[in-house]
Structure 1
Amino acid sequence: MDVSLQRAIVNHKASLKRRYECVIEGLVKAGSQTPFNRIYTELYITEGESDGVNDEHEVWQLETACRTTTSHDTEIHCNDIFKHLPGQERHIRTVLTKGIAGIGKTVSVQKFILDWAEGKANQDVEIIFVLPFRELNLIKDLQYSLLRLLHDFHPELDIGNAEKLAACKAMFIFDGLDESRIPLDFQCNKMMSDVTQTSSVDVLLTNLIKGNLLPSALLWITSRPAATNQIPPECVDQLTEVRGFNDPQKEEYFRKRFSDDEDLANRIISHIKTSRSLHVMCHMPVFCWISAIVLEHMLSTDKRREMPRTLTETFTHFVLIHTMKDQKYHGKDEMDQQELMESDKEVLLKLGKLAFEHLEKGNLMFYEEDLNECGIDVKEASVYSGVCTQVFKEESVLFQRVVYCFVHLSVQEFLSAVYVFHCYTTKNMDELKPFLQATRATSEELTLHELLKSTVNKALESKTGHLDLVVRFLHGMSLESNQKLLRGLVTQTESSPESVKKTIRSLKMMQSTNMSPERCINLFHCLIEMKTHSVQQEIQKYLRSEKKSKNLALTYCSALAYMLQISEEVLEVFDLRKYKTSQEGRRRLLPAVRVCRKALLPGCKLTEASCEVLSSALSSSSHLRELDLSNNDLMDSGVKLLFAGLGNSQCKLEILRLAFCEVTEEGCASLASALKSNPSHLRELDLSYNHPGDSGLRLLSAGLEDPTCRLEKLNVEHGGQYTIKHGLRKYGCVLTLDPNTAHRNLSLSEENRKVTWGTEEQPYPDHPERFQHFDQVLCREGLSGLCYWEVEWSGRGAHIGVTYKGINRSGRGDDSGLGPCDKAWCLVCSGDHYMAWINNKLTTIPSPSSPPSNRVGLYLDWPAGTMSFYKVCSDTLTHLYTFYTTFTEPLYPGLFVWCYSSVSLCQVVAPVSKTHDDVSL
């Protein structure tokens, strides 16, 4: 490398170190800086999921950040993002890191750059070019060569010519793709490979990302999820995701931030743990920062005041604290606070207008002209830097321009809601006409209930949910308690109990309509902000609604589980089998066990990964007292994780059921150890139909003799006698056809396990249960538990399914056949084609790609209300279709045999080793 370039790189590293070695947290005092490494807390970064564009509002995506770590996640240190993951062999040139606003993407970038500049990591990289999109926006309409662009951003380098640049191992960091105002037209932009050629910034960037310019350079792009689709997937070698803080990292953050006041740190951590909503939200580092500011102030100035528990309360206090010049807020009583708010009202409302108007446009970054349009003086905005902060503490290197933004997207949304509420209370409805639209909604007689309803309807029109958090805050502001806090900023309006009840009724009525799940989720959030005490019941009612014909998508299961956790209520019973979703959807609902007293999870195909979530719930101060995990293939590896939680002193579990869970001596040893560590709570344990062995039983018996052990009931029935089978065949049942139900065109054979259609009528005696018109037969056995059986047909085909005993035997209508009858659930099978009656319509089921087979497996989970059908091919089950309903009486397997066909009930013996589209947890 050229000697002069080496010296320039040394200066470049020194420049980057000065720029990133300190952080300004909240700008409590002008110019106050904290060493970055003193407060930096490691973030949880994983390999990202390539699940297509995610344009959902980040409120819905928050659960991803707080999802419990499992062994399936590949954790990545921010300094290792260009290193191969286990099993990878491809070259990694471009890394795209996604994460919701405030989750720690820019902090990760800062850590990477600082460690490189200080010689601690990635020293194989010779030059790092830092090109934030918010700065690139300043030159988006200008013409540049790549060489000149790099010189303008990093003049200390003075690379000089293209040969020097090409000879270096360079890395480009593009932070904040979601803030970009550059089109990035990958399809139409011309191709270029010369770093000295002049073109638009758009063309430069697309060619750099495609690899036409500097193909050997490394690229790191960060973005909120909604903007990641701007980069073509073929241009990304590795996708990563920042998920924020896990529970230990949250605590570490607060202890580092208040390292000089351990007592204050302990009190803040304690309060956050008592408020489930705050505890979950603190997975976001930015929310940890906001909570730290609010709680530090409140605990230091008025210990008697009720601590905030909702988002509206937290953000109200945050804005109150940060709008006070020179921290005048500190030490003032309520009257002083009100006067202070009055004096700052004009600037705050102008900021609210800026926030509201640009939120509609999707803008998160503002320039001086944007502020001027809202009547904001730039110097005044700098004084109020706690709310509208300069992104850079120094002026931008490009044209000496300064960029502004709110400290977090949610602050922009909160001030937007304040502005809307102010316009309503002052009857300034002209400002809101584009927002509310409806004639009635813009009249001066508009009631608070009508305003909230109108804003909800407007938010429902958004495809991305960009107004959803505004609507949440508005519902929170409808409460008198929050209006009192904001009384210096907004005029208090009517908030009678009747008005609040009317709003709550309206929200609940909207949920009962055919609204998409994500919209219902935000309505639940609104109920939480209004401190409604029936949110848990409303969420469960929605989840179990029989009106929903489709499975709940995985995203919605995650979000609903998250909401169940933050609603500050305790569920009496959480029955996972009741929810209409896939097995992966059930896995995502699992964290809700933290907020229930009784969790029913039998037969839900849980395995080792699920036990990590359950162990975490047992280890926390949860309300869980009864846990039923029967009929799950947990095996010793899973129960070991579970028992680690059981042995934690925080665990207060009293009843644990583990029948049919494949537990052996090894698992029993872990159980005995857990009971020894935490013997004071478990009263009842069911280990029936497992393999504890003699040594396992001896260990458990020894534990029972411990005087501190409270175990009163231990069930080890059939221990060692039960032959373990994996998968659904564990629930295999023996069935026989009932001759008294068989139509006379059907003949039975093979000990009533085979039925054949024929032209000659059989000499069956008259019987009231015999089918008179349809060629059908039922089994003798009525089923009402977890049951699995297999059926094989030959010939033209058959209807295969279950029905209630009361199905009409003599009629010719729908109520007599295994088809559209509302008392029957069946699959129509012919060759390798399948159909099912769904909502009274015969619907084709897509044929799996597996080899043809005339055998189907049927799995009934009667308690959960599911009837599932599988194609059986060799040792593999492929899911075909699942019916969801609520069964009210035992079900009888039945067959409708087509002409020139026969059907046999197969003997289920060998275990199925693989299952397709039926995700084991």
Structure 2
Amino acid sequence: VKLVITCFSVLPHHLFYVTPIQKCQADLKSYLLNQTKNLFQGTEENGSSTPLKDTYTELYITEGGSGEVNNEHEVVELECKRSTSEEKKIHLNIFEPLSNGENRPQRVLTKGIAGIGKTVAVQKFTHDWAKGTTNQNIQFVFPFTFRDLNLIKDKKLSLVDLIDHYFKEVKDLKTEDYENSSILFIFDGLDESKFPLDFKKSQMCRSVTKTTTVDTLLTNLIKGKLLHKALVWITSRPAAASKIPPEFINRVTEVRGFNDVQKEEYFQKKINDEVVAQKILKHLQSKLVRSLYIMCHIPLFCWISATVLQSLLTDTPENELPKTVTEMYTHFLIIETKRKQQKDYEKGEPDKDLIMKLGKLAFEQLQEGNMIFNENDLEDYEIDLKQAAVYSGVCTQIIREEYGLHRQECYSFVHLSVQEFLAALFVLETFIDSGKNLLNRHLTFLSKKGEISIFLLHKNALNMALKSKYGQWDLFLRFLFGLSQDKNQKLLQQVFGFQGRHPQSNQETIKYIHKKIKKLSYTDMSINLFQCLNELGDQTLVEQVQTYQSSGDVSKISPSHWSALAFVLLVSGENLDVFDLKKYDMSDEVLERLVPYSETLRLWLNIEGQRKCFQQCQIILFFLFRLSDCNLTDRCCGCISSVLSLKSSGLEELDLSRNTLQDSGVELLSEGLKSPNCKLQRLRLIGCNLSERSCEALSSVLSSQSSTLKELDLRNNNLQDSGMKLLSAARKSPHCTLETLRSGHNYLYM
């Protein structure tokens, strides 16, 4: 022992010296480790806070393409494209190169629908870094949420001030430390941002000490102008991802959620009673509630389902268990109310009054895009703080210690979907009680019988959802329709004493939704409208498709029916008999509806891992490369080109023969053929009214480095000698992989 002490006593003093950077890093890690150690689902008060290491189920993150940001309408359970076997699973190593020679991405956008686990992924990433187990090549990680940043959006700060505002642990860092250190900025929840984020008009800012708006700091960080070496990670719902221009994103990833195996693991971990867990799974996997089981790939919905079904299974008949999303959330509200009552807090105002106040807060703040509130906000709505805290599952008190410019308590709903549910409940009950339509600020007209017609409210809500740029009213719409159902109305009357509307038909609303589905040219919103029909108990479009398909009378299939067919494939969980798609009345419009659906279906099969689903998707995929004699024009080629450009596209054969594609169509098609993601090997364009102009486009495809074509059939087209010379020259390119070329002159290259 003496020898050891002596040895250490003579070591140079500088070996024990900790630099200011090292101290800041250690303090930051300690702080973040403490902040991320527990995983919350719901609220801490209702016992849902558990150690992250004990409950974290890996949320796979897949590469979604470099810079490909889609402006999608968000549909909670179905707007989630699934990866194929060719996609690369990258877990949480989102800044690591995926192959040799690939540069490290500097700015990453991670997409995922509401409740899928984006924030949990950020928490796990931060926790592992703070613990020292991963990503140690990064010296500082600064995780921000747009919810927090919204609170100071009108402040003027420097980047150093902004960091010090949230992370006092690094207040001793100098300007040069920021310039020379490896730093990661995380911005979680882009969809909740209140910042304009105008990347074209934002002012330039390159100094970390320059005082400017928070919006300017954000745009310059993302553009790489401010701290150009820093890493940036942004998470967002898909609908809002387009707020960031694709040229500023190096990698797009997606949180995939739970597959079937992970769903079962979750319920077994969450529910100690194995018998009850199996009963829950049996209910969710049953044919009638298949869409709820699909929705369970969202971790938050798993938690709500476990909470509701575990409570109901003891005293509720199986046929009375929730079958729709709205029914599930209605029961969730009831269960949280019972929890409040069990705390003997019975001297306050009636449950209905408090729920309506919370609903008014939810709706009006949703209109403003607010998801987080302060004490003054609650007081404005006459919500007693004690009641709000006791009403733990509905309105949750969140204590956030914020250093620097702010230090206050903040409040939020347990999840945005709960806010949307309460907002829909408030709008509907206001309409029923007073006839006031909050969606257009006018009193509603009465029907001939003197009853308040709910169709006007439904119509306003549907049009509002269709006009919303980022699909932010889609789930609100679904809840509004679901709450209008007599079953949910009776539940609300029995438990809370809501007045309830007189039983009346929703047929006028259903007809209006059918009309809108027929007019929609894009698929994302039409899927949500099918879910709205499901909430209203209408399956007529789906049933018509099933009848036509089983009878073989396919002449009546319309474009809207193709949407219904895709919806059936997606939620049925059963096989449809393989049928001859050549019998269908094809057109450009049908193809434009079908292609995006087929991609969603095909990508979805991988996470669900179901052979049946795979077989269903193959029906559509089989159709995609046998499009000859389908009355198609050049209009369809852009749609097909987009499919060929997808990373998940596995098409190797495409037959477009005897369609009026013309040269303009081939030029559109060539863009997809030149994509590095294209896997096409055989292309047939027989009799498509092509000239030498098409040969110019195709020769550029054959000469491109990414060309994979081995067979090209151009017979019965007016290519002329000039066109064939262009193709012959391209054939000599070192990049050309073509083995067989057929033309109207019977040219043959082997």
TM-score range (shorter-chain normalised) is: 0.7 to 0.9
Structure 1 equivalent of residue 483 of structure 2:
477
In the TM superposition, what is the alpha-carbon distance from 1:510 to its structure 2 partner? Answer: 4.6
In the TM superposition, what is the alpha-carbon distance from 1:896 to its structure 2 partner? Answer: 13
TM-aligned CA distance change 1:212 to 1:121, over 3 Å: same
Question: What is the alpha-carbon distance in structure 1 between the residues aligned to residue 385 and residue 239 of structure 2?
Answer: 31
For 1:787-830, what per-residue CA distance to the aligned partner results, in whole angstroms no more than 9, with x for missing partners? x97xxxxxxxxxxx6xxxxxxxxxxxxxxxxxxxxxxxx7497x
In the TM superposition, what is the alpha-carbon distance from 1:858 to its structure 2 partner? Answer: 5.6
1:410 matched to 2:417: yes
Q: 2:376 aligns with which of 364, 369, 373?
A: 369
In the TM superposition, what is the alpha-carbon distance from 1:352 to its structure 2 partner? Answer: 1.1
Structure 2 equivalent of residue 116 of structure 1:
129
1:384 matched to 2:391: yes
For 1:632-681, what per-residue CA distance to the aligned partner results, in whole angstroms no more than 9, with x for missing partners? 999xxxxxxxxxxxxxxxxxxxxxxxxxxxxxxxxxxxxxxxxxxxxxxx
Partner-residue secondary structure (3-state), 1:323: helix
1:322 matched to 2:327: no
Amino acid at match of 1:37: K
Structure 1 equivalent of residue 14 of structure 2:
none
TM-aligned CA distance change 1:412 to 1:133, over 3 Å: same
Q: 2:598 aligns with which of 589, 592, 595?
A: 589
Q: 2:307 aligns with which of 290, 293, 309?
A: 293
Structure 2 equivalent of residue 35 of structure 1:
51
Partner-residue secondary structure (3-state), 2:440: helix
Q: How does 1:329-728 map to 2 (within 5 A)?
A: 343-390=350-397, 392-397=398-403, 399-429=406-436, 432=438, 434=440, 445-487=451-493, 488-489=495-496, 490-496=498-504, 499-512=505-518, 517-538=523-544, 561-562=566-567, 564-566=569-571, 578=584, 585=594, 588-589=597-598, 616-618=609-611, 727=653
| Preserved contact between residue 190 and residue 236 of structure 2 (Cα < 8 Å) | yes
Question: What is the alpha-carbon distance in structure 2 between the residues aligned to residue 491 and residue 379 of structure 1?
Answer: 27
Q: Which sits farther off after the overlay, 485-494 or 281-290?
A: 485-494
Question: What is the alpha-carbon distance in structure 2 between the residues aligned to residue 446 and residue 877 of structure 1?
Answer: 66
In the TM superposition, what is the alpha-carbon distance from 1:20 to its structure 2 partner? Answer: 0.7
1:247 matched to 2:247: no
| Preserved contact between residue 38 and residue 256 of structure 1 (Cα < 8 Å) | no
Question: What is the alpha-carbon distance in structure 1 between the residues aligned to residue 27 and residue 544 of structure 2?
Answer: 61
| Preserved contact between residue 104 and residue 242 of structure 1 (Cα < 8 Å) | yes
Structure 2 equivalent of residue 143 of structure 1:
156
For 1:853-896, what per-residue CA distance to the aligned partner results, in whole angstroms no more than 9, with x for missing partners? xxx9666xxxxxxx9777886997999xxxxxxxxxxxxxx999
TM-aligned CA distance change 1:211 to 1:507, over 3 Å: closer
1:227 matched to 2:240: yes
Amino acid at match of 2:490: K
In the TM superposition, what is the alpha-carbon distance from 1:115 to its structure 2 partner? Answer: 0.8
Amino acid at match of 1:217: A
The size of the alignment, in residue pairs, is 647
For 1:64-110, what per-residue CA distance to the aligned partner results, in whole angstroms no more than 9, with x for missing partners? 5363x4222221111x1000122652242221212222111100000
TM-aligned CA distance change 1:95 to 1:268, over 3 Å: same
1:192 matched to 2:185: no
TM-aligned CA distance change 1:584 to 1:44, over 3 Å: farther
In the TM superposition, what is the alpha-carbon distance from 1:474 to its structure 2 partner? Answer: 2.6
Amino acid at match of 2:454: L
TM-aligned CA distance change 1:325 to 1:396, over 3 Å: farther
Question: What is the alpha-carbon distance in structure 2 between the residues aligned to residue 869 and residue 438 of structure 1?
Answer: 57
| Preserved contact between residue 134 and residue 180 of structure 1 (Cα < 8 Å) | yes
Question: What is the alpha-carbon distance in structure 1 between the residues aligned to residue 58 and residue 565 of structure 2?
Answer: 28
Structure 1 equivalent of residue 282 of structure 2:
270
Amino acid at match of 1:57: H
Determine what percentage of the aligned residue pairs are the same residue.
40
Question: What is the alpha-carbon distance in structure 1 between the residues aligned to residue 697 and residue 386 of structure 2?
Answer: 73
Question: What is the alpha-carbon distance in structure 1 between the residues aligned to residue 187 and residue 426 of structure 2?
Answer: 33
Partner-residue secondary structure (3-state), 1:256: helix
Q: What are structure 2's unaligned runs of at least 5 residues?
A: 1-16, 627-651, 675-682, 702-714, 719-737, 744-750
Partner-residue secondary structure (3-state), 2:225: coil
Structure 2 equivalent of residue 710 of structure 1:
none
Partner-residue secondary structure (3-state), 2:62: strand
For 1:147-175, what per-residue CA distance to the aligned partner results, in whole angstroms no more than 9, with x for missing partners? 22222211123324213333432221111
Question: What is the alpha-carbon distance in structure 2 between the residues aligned to residue 235 and residue 847 of structure 1?
Answer: 27
Structure 1 equivalent of residue 195 of structure 2:
182
Question: What is the alpha-carbon distance in structure 2 between the residues aligned to residue 447 and residue 117 of structure 1?
Answer: 57
TM-aligned CA distance change 1:545 to 1:509, over 3 Å: farther
Q: 2:42 aligns with which of 26, 29, 39?
A: 26
Question: What is the alpha-carbon distance in structure 1 between the residues aligned to residue 169 and residue 67 of structure 2?
Answer: 41
Q: Which sits farther off after the overlay, 454-463 or 261-270?
A: 454-463
Question: What is the alpha-carbon distance in structure 2 between the residues aligned to residue 874 and residue 187 of structure 1?
Answer: 36
In the TM superposition, what is the alpha-carbon distance from 1:118 to its structure 2 partner? Answer: 1.3
Partner-residue secondary structure (3-state), 1:174: strand
Q: CA RMSD in A?
A: 4.8
Question: What is the alpha-carbon distance in structure 2 between the residues aligned to residue 532 and residue 208 of structure 1?
Answer: 49
| Preserved contact between residue 142 and residue 184 of structure 2 (Cα < 8 Å) | yes
Q: Which sits farther off after the overlay, 356-365 or 216-225?
A: 356-365
Question: What is the alpha-carbon distance in structure 2 between the residues aligned to residue 96 and residue 86 of structure 1?
Answer: 19
In the TM superposition, what is the alpha-carbon distance from 1:113 to its structure 2 partner? Answer: 0.7
Amino acid at match of 1:268: I
In the TM superposition, what is the alpha-carbon distance from 1:494 to its structure 2 partner? Answer: 2.1
Question: What is the alpha-carbon distance in structure 1 between the residues aligned to residue 574 and residue 625 of structure 2?
Answer: 31
| Preserved contact between residue 175 and residue 209 of structure 2 (Cα < 8 Å) | yes
In the TM superposition, what is the alpha-carbon distance from 1:36 to its structure 2 partner? Answer: 1.0
| Preserved contact between residue 399 and residue 409 of structure 2 (Cα < 8 Å) | no
For 1:750-769, what per-residue CA distance to the aligned partner results, in whole angstroms no more than 9, with x for missing partners? xxxxxxxxxxxxxxxxxxxx
| Preserved contact between residue 324 and residue 340 of structure 1 (Cα < 8 Å) | no
Question: What is the alpha-carbon distance in structure 1 between the residues aligned to residue 444 and residue 51 of structure 2?
Answer: 52
Question: What is the alpha-carbon distance in structure 2 between the residues aligned to residue 584 and residue 83 of structure 1?
Answer: 37
Amino acid at match of 2:291: S
Q: How does 1:903-918 map to 2 (within 5 A)?
A: none
Amino acid at match of 1:206: T
Question: What is the alpha-carbon distance in structure 2 between the residues aligned to residue 584 and residue 509 of structure 1?
Answer: 16
| Preserved contact between residue 445 and residue 453 of structure 2 (Cα < 8 Å) | no
Q: What are structure 1's unaligned runs of at least 5 residues?
A: 331-335, 593-608, 635-725, 730-787, 790-800, 802-825, 836-843, 860-866, 880-893, 898-909, 916-921
Question: What is the alpha-carbon distance in structure 1 between the residues aligned to residue 349 and residue 568 of structure 2?
Answer: 36
Question: What is the alpha-carbon distance in structure 2 between the residues aligned to residue 450 and residue 294 of structure 1?
Answer: 32
| Preserved contact between residue 135 and residue 396 of structure 1 (Cα < 8 Å) | no
Partner-residue secondary structure (3-state), 1:219: strand
Question: What is the alpha-carbon distance in structure 2 between the residues aligned to residue 125 and residue 214 of structure 1?
Answer: 14
Q: How does 1:131-170 map to 2 (within 5 A)?
A: 131-170=144-183
Q: Which sits farther off after the overlay, 195-204 or 574-583?
A: 574-583
Amino acid at match of 2:290: R
Structure 2 equivalent of residue 71 of structure 1:
85
TM-aligned CA distance change 1:875 to 1:539, over 3 Å: same
For 1:730-751, what per-residue CA distance to the aligned partner results, in whole angstroms no more than 9, with x for missing partners? xxxxxxxxxxxxxxxxxxxxxx
Q: Which sits farther off after the overlay, 35-44 or 126-135?
A: 126-135
TM-aligned CA distance change 1:470 to 1:574, over 3 Å: farther
Amino acid at match of 1:94: R
Question: What is the alpha-carbon distance in structure 2 between the residues aligned to residue 143 and residue 443 of structure 1?
Answer: 59
